[in-house]
């Protein structure tokens, strides 16, 4: 399941991010690639310890922590800090799958990657190419969103970033360990939660039907969540 989350950052925040990143110290992204993906990765990244990356990453995490759609779709338990990357001059990232287990740089423990996310910081008109293509049950789906929007997708998916043939594509990427590891179960919970929120509009706070649905949601979550 792919989930688009609009306006994680508003237009003013995007401008602030891009202004700060315009003078960033970019390094070769191949330095953080795995033994196989290094052969297909051509981009620039900010060092994970760069103070600018830490500051901007924390701003994103604070926004996500209060975003209802993100919380509902991800049920995120642990989030790998955002990594900022830049694609230009033919930069691309060939077909690959994200690592299943990742050593969290701040927590000092291994996390499981259930979900991956790309937060776009460049508008589609700013560059040519650079589509995020995610392979799914029905083939590849190309994603190229407005600046400030984010897409969530299973970390188990094969995916790629096509070559940027003009302009510059700047994004932030991150990975999440969800409280619910099973993708199908997480999708059911998301659909149920979104339906509850929609049905609750205009109803009283003690509506018995809504309460029963919430009861079902939390008991399913209790059944499927991992300690």
Which of 157, 178, 199 terminates a domain? The answer is 178
Residues 219 and 166 in one domain: no
Q: What is the pLDDT of residues 14-69, one digit of tens each?
A: 999 999 999 999 999 877 655 555 678 899 999 999 999 999 999 999 999 999 99
- Tell me: pLDDT of 103 over 80: yes
* CATH code of the domain in which 80 resides: 2.60.120.620
Residues 96 and 167 in one domain: yes
- Which residue numbers belong to the known binding site for 2-oxoglutarate? 169
pLDDT of residue 35: 55
Domain that holds residue 84: 3-178
Distance separating alpha carbons of residues 124 and 100, to the nearest angstrom: 30
Distance separating alpha carbons of residues 106 and 152, to the nearest angstrom: 22
Q: Are strands 110-112 and 101-103 parallel, antiparallel or unpaired?
A: antiparallel
Do residues 45 and 161 make contact, with C-beta atoms less than 8 angstroms apart? no
Alpha-carbon separation of residue 139 from 100, 133, 167 (angstroms): 22, 10, 28
Which contacts qualify for 58-64: CB closer than 8 Å, 24 or more apart?
A: 59/13, 60/8, 60/9, 60/119, 60/172, 60/174, 63/8, 63/9, 64/8
How much is the average pLDDT of 132-149? Answer: 94
Alpha-carbon separation of residue 79 from 36, 60, 180, 192 (angstroms): 24, 11, 14, 23
Distance separating alpha carbons of residues 140 and 75, to the nearest angstrom: 25
Distance separating alpha carbons of residues 148 and 5, to the nearest angstrom: 9
Residues 137 and 187 in one domain: no
Distance separating alpha carbons of residues 203 and 217, to the nearest angstrom: 18
Residues 114 and 218 in one domain: no
- Tell me: pLDDT of 170 over 80: yes
- Tell me: pLDDT of 226 over 60: yes
pLDDT of residue 38: 61
Do residues 93 and 120 make contact, with C-beta atoms less than 8 angstroms apart? no
* CATH code of the domain in which 214 resides: 4.10.860
How much is the average pLDDT of 78-105? Answer: 95
- Which residue numbers belong to the known binding site for Fe cation? 96, 98, 159
- Which residue numbers belong to the known binding site? 96, 98, 159, 169
Residues 55 and 118 in one domain: yes
Residues 189 and 165 in one domain: no
pLDDT of residue 88: 95
Residues 169 and 189 in one domain: no
Distance separating alpha carbons of residues 85 and 64, to the nearest angstrom: 19
Tell me how many domains the chain contains: 2
* Mean pLDDT, rounded, of the chain: 94
Residues 102 and 204 in one domain: no
Residue bearing tokens 């070559």: 163
Residues 190 and 214 in one domain: yes
């Amino acid at each position: 399941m792919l989930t688009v989350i609009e306006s994680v950052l508003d237009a003013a925040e995007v401008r602030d991010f891009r202004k700060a990143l315009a003078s960033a110290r970019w390094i070769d992204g191949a330095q953080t690639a795995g033994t196989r993906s290094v052969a297909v990765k051509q981009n620039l990244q900010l060092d994970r310890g760069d103070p600018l990356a830490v500051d901007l990453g924390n701003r994103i995490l604070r926004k996500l922590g209060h975003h209802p759609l993100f919380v509902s779709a991800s049920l995120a338990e642990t989030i790998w800090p955002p990594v900022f990357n830049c694609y230009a001059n033919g930069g691309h990232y060939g077909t690959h799958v994200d690592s299943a287990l990742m050593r969290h740089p701040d927590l000092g423990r291994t996390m499981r990657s259930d979900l991956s996310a790309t937060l776009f910081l460049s508008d589609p008109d700013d560059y040519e190419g650079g589509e995020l293509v995610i392979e799914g049950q029905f083939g590849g789906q190309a994603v190229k969103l407005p600046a400030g929007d984010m897409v969530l997708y299973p970390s188990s998916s094969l995916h790629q970033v096509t070559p940027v043939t003009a302009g510059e594509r700047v994004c932030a990427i991150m990975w999440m360990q969800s409280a619910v590891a099973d993708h199908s179960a997480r999708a059911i919970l998301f659909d149920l939660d979104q339906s509850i929120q929609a049905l609750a509009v205009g109803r009283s706070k003690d509506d018995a039907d809504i309460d029963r649905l919430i009861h079902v949601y939390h008991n399913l979550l209790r059944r499927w969540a991992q300690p």
